[in-house]
Structure 1
Amino acid sequence: MASITSLRTAAPRGAAAASATNPGGQLLSGDALTLSGVTRAFGALRAVDDVSLNVAAGQKYAILGSNGAGKTTLFNAITGDFPPTAGRIHFFGEDITDLPPHERIRKGLRRTYQSSLLFRDLTVRDNLFLAVRGVASGRFSFMRPRAHQASTVATDDLLERARLSHIADELVANLAHGQQRQLEIGMALAGAPRLILFDEPAAGLSPAERRELVALLTSLPAHMSFVLIEHDLDIALRVVDRVTVMHNGRVLRTGSPAEIEGDAQVQAIYMGSKH
């Protein structure tokens, strides 16, 4: 593919607020996530190169691009798994660039991964319970929970929200791939997250499982922001209201789903001549 030069990100809603500062120099923002010139280099390779974007509070956002575009590396920079080598990351106005991953989790940032990270020898309910306890105060307590306790109630709520109540006592090892993806989303919802990063949640799903995933994503609370990496464009463009397309580690285009779907350069590179 030809190299892309002179790329600029279109400013999503809330960008003006994101750039304002108070007299003390602290960023003031109504946005959930603001990336400013984020770069992640591995030696001479810039896997992510000068990426800037804003995700408004409550916004549903997609990052698209072919393999090697830098999408997952960008997620790793946001979560702190591989912190950026340049640029800044603000989460609801607070600079989290140098925070360790567990501190970002405590502030309400969650993430799912391309490969399932589940306890396969435990039940669905047990996995969700551990997720609830992992972000709760007193999470190291060895006291057996009772039915009315907050962690148990929260687990039951997650079973409903993830649409998994009917298989609550099934071992994870016995679940279909799509059900495991649903469980991962349910675990990411533990502890009232403020923003979730979904890394290719539709990967390997059947058509029926894709429909279930769309229903689950569209049922998330309106106030909750999420950013979605997805190769399935039909899913991504149905569940978000803002899209950034990446190419060779940089931002190629940012716009609404309709704008991205109708963009000739995006079609030529990612979708072919027809979509």
Structure 2
Amino acid sequence: MNAPVNPPRPVSLGQAHVSAGNALELRGITKMFGALAAISDVTLSVRPGERRAVLGSNGAGKTTLFNCITGDFLPTTGLIRFFGEDVTTFPPHERIRRGLRRTYQISSLFAGLSVIDNVYLACRGVSRNRFSLIPPRRDDSLVHAAETLVEAVHLAAEKNRLVGELAYGQQRQLEIALALSGAPRFILFDEPAAGLSPTERRDLVSILTTLPNHIGYIIIEHDMDVALRVVESVTMMHNGRIFKEGRPEEIEDDPEVQELYLGGGHD
């Protein structure tokens, strides 16, 4: 496996305000479904601009954790702070307004619209003028922002194509562009490499490693060859709890991780 890489990350998508504290803090997060604890007593902190992977087998609680962070689920117990603000009970749209974004395992795109129109609508949806009925002018700042995002995810040549005509990997790239709309401060990527070809995975790594420095993220990913190349820290989950944390090289070489998740070895 290739060693983790940390290439320069150019800032080109707008600089958001960066807090001196943590971007994301979870304290004792537990989510119960009846008598079942999907996640239990999860505590972690992520700095502004930090890139972290949350790894684990199916059923480890990773997606439930994301759902609690975004507000799709409210935790049964625990505290969630986003850049110092308690957002534990906030609905999803309030967390989005504060700069939190997410991609999903299943694509949710406007297949009958073009790539650029999808991205423009995402930019418009998080802008102050999102309810305006006035058509955009050519010099509209949101049109320029959409063009920039399309280029950032390597889809400039496809910007006028209908989304339904794109390859699956290109649709996943488009989802990243949507998540980048409106100057996000933090993004949750839910298995962005799922279903991608080796070439598309290399393109994904390139996109993630060249995001602006101020945008931190957590990535859930089963492909450790992708995950360990695009992050600086790793949290392993097992049975709804944090099992181990460390740098990518530490997690890759850890015997317990290899035994539990990689079948006793990983090359």
TM-score (norm. length: structure 1) = 0.89
Unaligned runs of 5+ in 2: 1-18
AA in 1 matched with 2:30? T
Alignment deviations for residues 205-225 of structure 1 (CA, whole Å, 9 cap, x no partner): 000000000000001011110
Q: For residues 263 and 251 of structure 2, what CA distance do their matches in structure 1 show?
A: 13
AA in 2 matched with 1:201? P
CA drift of 1:153 comes to: 1.0
Q: SS of the counterpart of 1:210?
A: helix
AA in 2 matched with 1:169? N
Partner of 2:71 in structure 1?
A: 80
Are 1:184 and 2:175 matched, yes or no?
yes
Check conservation: 1:47, 1:249, Cα contact below 8 A. yes
Are 1:234 and 2:229 matched, yes or no?
no
Partner of 2:206 in structure 1?
A: 215
Partner of 1:69 in structure 2?
A: 60
Check conservation: 1:29, 1:93, Cα contact below 8 A. no
Q: For residues 120 and 107 of structure 1, what CA distance do their matches in structure 2 show?
A: 28
Partner of 1:43 in structure 2?
A: 34
Q: For residues 244 and 29 of structure 1, what CA distance do their matches in structure 2 show?
A: 22
Check conservation: 1:39, 1:84, Cα contact below 8 A. yes
Alignment deviations for residues 117-164 of structure 1 (CA, whole Å, 9 cap, x no partner): 101111101100110000000101111101111111111111111111
Q: For residues 29 and 90 of structure 1, what CA distance do their matches in structure 2 show?
A: 14
AA in 2 matched with 1:202? A
CA drift of 1:169 comes to: 0.6
Are 1:266 and 2:241 matched, yes or no?
no
Aligned counterpart for 2:240 among listed residues 239, 242, 249: 249
Partner of 2:134 in structure 1?
A: 143
Measured on the aligned residues, the alpha-carbon RMSD in Å equals 0.9
Q: SS of the counterpart of 2:192?
A: coil
Q: For residues 242 and 161 of structure 1, what CA distance do their matches in structure 2 show?
A: 24
AA in 2 matched with 1:49? S
Alignment deviations for residues 217-271 of structure 1 (CA, whole Å, 9 cap, x no partner): 0010111100000000000000000000000000000110011111111110001
Q: SS of the counterpart of 1:31?
A: coil
Q: For residues 20 and 33 of structure 2, what CA distance do their matches in structure 1 show?
A: 31
Partner of 1:129 in structure 2?
A: 120
Q: For residues 259 and 265 of structure 2, what CA distance do their matches in structure 1 show?
A: 9
Alignment deviations for residues 79-105 of structure 1 (CA, whole Å, 9 cap, x no partner): 000110100001111110011100000
Q: For residues 208 and 179 of structure 1, what CA distance do their matches in structure 2 show?
A: 11
Number of corresponding residues: 248
Partner of 2:187 in structure 1?
A: 196
Q: For residues 271 and 55 of structure 1, what CA distance do their matches in structure 2 show?
A: 26
Percent identity reads 60
Aligned counterpart for 2:94 among listed residues 103, 112, 120: 103
Aligned counterpart for 1:171 among listed residues 154, 159, 162: 162
CA drift of 1:29 comes to: 6.3
Q: For residues 39 and 20 of structure 2, what CA distance do their matches in structure 1 show?
A: 24
Partner of 1:32 in structure 2?
A: 23
Alignment deviations for residues 163-200 of structure 1 (CA, whole Å, 9 cap, x no partner): 11100011111111110000000000000000000000
Partner of 2:8 in structure 1?
A: none
Q: SS of the counterpart of 1:87?
A: strand
Q: SS of the counterpart of 1:48?
A: strand
Q: Following superposition, which runs of at least 4 residues in structure 1 exceed 3 angstroms of deviation? A: none
Q: For residues 37 and 166 of structure 2, what CA distance do their matches in structure 1 show?
A: 38
Check conservation: 1:69, 1:250, Cα contact below 8 A. yes
Check conservation: 1:243, 1:260, Cα contact below 8 A. yes
